[in-house]
Amino acid sequence: MTVFADQDLLHDFLTEAGEMLDRVDVKLVELESRPDDRELLNEIFRGFHTIKGGGGFLEATALVELCHRAENLLDRLRNGGLTLNAGILDVILASTGEVKLMFAQMQGQREPELSDPGLLDQIDAVLEGRAEAVPASPAAAPDAVQEAHAAQAAPEAGPDDAQWWSALLQALVGGIAAQASVPAPARAPVSKPPSPAQGAKGMTAARETTLRIDVSRFDQILNLSGEIGLTKNRITCLRTEIVRKYRGDDSLKILDSVVDQLDMLVSDLQNAVMKARMQPVGRVFQKYVRLARDLARQLGKDVELVLEGEETEIDKNMIEELNDPLVHLVRNAVDHGVETIEERRAVGKPERALVRLMARQAGDAIVIEITDDGRGMRPEVLRQKAVEKGAISAEEAASLDDRQALELIFRPGFSTKNEISDVSGRGVGMDVVKTNIGKLNGRIELHSEIGKGTRVTILLPLTLAILPVLVVDVGAQPYAMPLSIVREIISIPPGAIQLVAGKPAILVRGEVLPLLDLAKLLGKPPGGEDAGRIGVVASSGSQTFILAVDRMFGQDEVVIKPLAGFKPKGVAGATVSSEGALVLVLEMRELFESQ
């Protein structure tokens, strides 16, 4: 049974209010370190007030009641009736958590209800002085000028918020709901309701700047732009053949001009589609501020999560796939990375630990870094733990350098914790992080310094839709590999191949690299004599190989099509070359791990 009659209004409310609540969470964590920041309090108050107004239009009584109580508490803090402390902040954060649960209930077409019946009593206890709260001293109360300024910054009535929600409802259902239809706690004492003309004017401005499109429709547009690009490549190839055959014909100048124009238009179209898919990473980053704060309190630590580069844009689908890996990395930094307050004090560090989550664009890649100023990782401890857990032998552990030892944390089942808790210790996490990053055609790197902290770096392509590749020939079949893993191209002259531990290798500028036959990796007949063939120096994680191929076709940008019904080993999908030939796109991580 559908609880909410207007599904469009519900969808828009949950989208806008969800983003607003994420911002409120971030502001609440900031407020913990700046409890006297009146503007922060005003912004948090306005967030609850706006969500309450939208919940009122949807007649979500429990949501409205909770937001109303939270407003009262925040209003007392704004007016100096209460002084913020850890207990009060916990109650407010519990309220935002409960609101998120209500949003989930509404998403599932259920009337929202409190899952914690004691939460309203906790808020009332703080307001009535029955809970631990530090009352404000008379000197802390704001004077008349401060009260007037606060009223101007965040008016109790909230007319702008009420007009916004009224205008939204008017745009969706063709009229403005009467105030009488809104539950009493949701009513705002607005002096004059907005007219339909005012509401329409406000919504017109919004329509001119934003448009919500179903993801499946947008993916179809992307798919079509990719097909156009492939057709353009085919036309360009045909143009080259025609020019070669009919050199000197004046009509070819017209053909050249038309094809050049088509090339430019298709490139512009693909760039426009790509940009439309891009979203700022701040949308997902902000969720981790609350996560880090709550986990730190649970562990008895003082940790501040600092966000940088929130405006950096990344493919929407990639943002969603990044969520789980980043959650684990942030939790890892707080749990494993930084020390307790006592441990930091003992080594002369500030009691508050810093964890930084940063994003930036570097060329055609997105770089995400999670750093902490904690204890760092000791390679010798990692080697010892890996041997104890049976992940590697003692001989193999002794052969690992420090960089390779750090990467032991990516082994399935590996953990440095001796005891299992609800936070960590089961050895599940970092291996999944690496796998998920690999699925995004990215890679993950580690750097750690004992006593100073750890840095985890994730490198990702700008988009998953169009992939820069190197096209090679193996056994008369073209294959494409991600350009991001290619370090360089070398020739394999006679006599260059050496045997190291019984396996072929080549010395490249002082570095001995193993030589692999790509044909053999793909399960095809060997490509013949390696000498005289071409070598692709490629890296995957900490490993670097030379892949022997028959010929080199060059670089290209392709749109990957999944292979329906079956998936050969080491093949991510297929595309079409400019000559019209089928090109298999390789999943290099899978091929390397088979070695």
Q: Provide DSSP, 252-315.
A: HHHHHHHHHHHHHHHHHHHHHHHHHHEEETHHHHTHHHHHHHHHHHHHT--EEEEEE-TT-EEE
Number of Cβ atoms within 10 Å of the Cβ of 576: 17
Q: Are residues 19 and 82 in the same domain?
A: yes
CA distance 293 to 198: 42
Residue 26 contacts residue 290 (beta carbons within 8 Å): yes
Instruction: Look at residue 574 and tell me if it is in a domain.
Output: yes
Banded pLDDT at 102 (limits 50, 70, 90): very high
Q: Is the pTM of this model over 0.75?
A: no
Total domain count, the chain: 4
Region at 401 (left for phi over 0; alpha for psi -120 to 50; beta for the rest): beta
Which token pair is 5?
Answer: 């009659």
Q: What is the pLDDT of residue 200?
A: 37
Which token pair is 152?
Answer: 């101007």
Q: Are residues 403 and 453 in the same domain?
A: yes
263-303 pLDDT, tens digit each: 788 778 877 777 777 888 887 888 898 889 889 988 999 99
Residue 560 has pLDDT above 90, yes or no: no
Q: Are residues 554 and 579 in the same domain?
A: yes
DSSP state of 286: T
Q: Give the range among 288-292, 304-308, 484-488 with minimum mean pLDDT.
A: 484-488
Q: Are residues 20 and 132 in the same domain?
A: yes
174-218 pLDDT, tens digit each: 433 333 333 334 333 333 333 333 333 343 333 345 556 666 777
Strands (E), 173-302: 278-280
Q: What is the pLDDT of residue 235?
A: 82
CATH label of the domain that carries residue 203: 1.20.120.160
Residue ending a domain, among 229, 258, 279, is 279
Instruction: Look at residue 323 and tell me if it is in a domain.
Output: yes
Q: Are residues 166 and 102 in the same domain?
A: yes
Q: What is the pLDDT of residue 191?
A: 34
Q: Provide DSSP, 328-361.
A: HHHHHIIIIISPPHHHHHHTT--SSEEEEEEEEE
Percentage of the chain exceeding pLDDT 90: 20
Which token pair is 68?
Answer: 């109303």
Taking only Cα atoms into account, the Rg of the chain, rounded to an integer number of angstroms, comes to 30
Task: List for the chain the helix, strand, coil content (%; round to 5).
Answer: 50, 20, 30
Residue ending a domain, among 396, 427, 461, is 461
DSSP H helix total and E strand total for the chain: 20, 20
Instruction: Look at residue 1 and tell me if it is in a domain.
Output: no
CATH label of the domain that carries residue 487: 2.40.50.180
Q: Are residues 489 and 405 in the same domain?
A: no
DSSP state of 136: P
Tell which residue, 311, 264, 306, 257, has the closest CA to residue 283: 311
Instruction: Look at residue 524 and tell me if it is in a domain.
Output: yes
Domain range spanning residue 491? 466-593
Residue ending a domain, among 421, 445, 461, is 461
Query: From the centroid of its chain, how far is CA 496?
Result: 44
Query: From the centroid of its chain, how far is CA 31?
Result: 25
Q: Which helix (H) or strand (E) holds 571?
A: strand 571-576
Q: Are residues 199 and 68 in the same domain?
A: yes
Residue 373 has pLDDT above 90, yes or no: yes
CATH label of the domain that carries residue 264: 1.10.287
Q: Are residues 514 and 575 in the same domain?
A: yes
Higher pLDDT residue, 530 or 515?
515
Instruction: Look at residue 2 and tell me if it is in a domain.
Output: no
On average, the pLDDT of the chain sits at 77
CATH label of the domain that carries residue 322: 3.30.565.10
Q: Are residues 273 and 349 in the same domain?
A: no
CA dihedral 170, 173, 174, 179 (to 10 degrees): -50
Q: Are residues 328 and 399 in the same domain?
A: yes
Q: Are residues 546 and 533 in the same domain?
A: yes
339-354 pLDDT, tens digit each: 999 999 999 999 999 9
Q: Are residues 415 and 505 in the same domain?
A: no
CA distance 354 to 332: 13
* Mean pLDDT to the nearest integer, 506-522: 87
420: Cβ contacts below 8 Å, ≥ 6 apart: 426
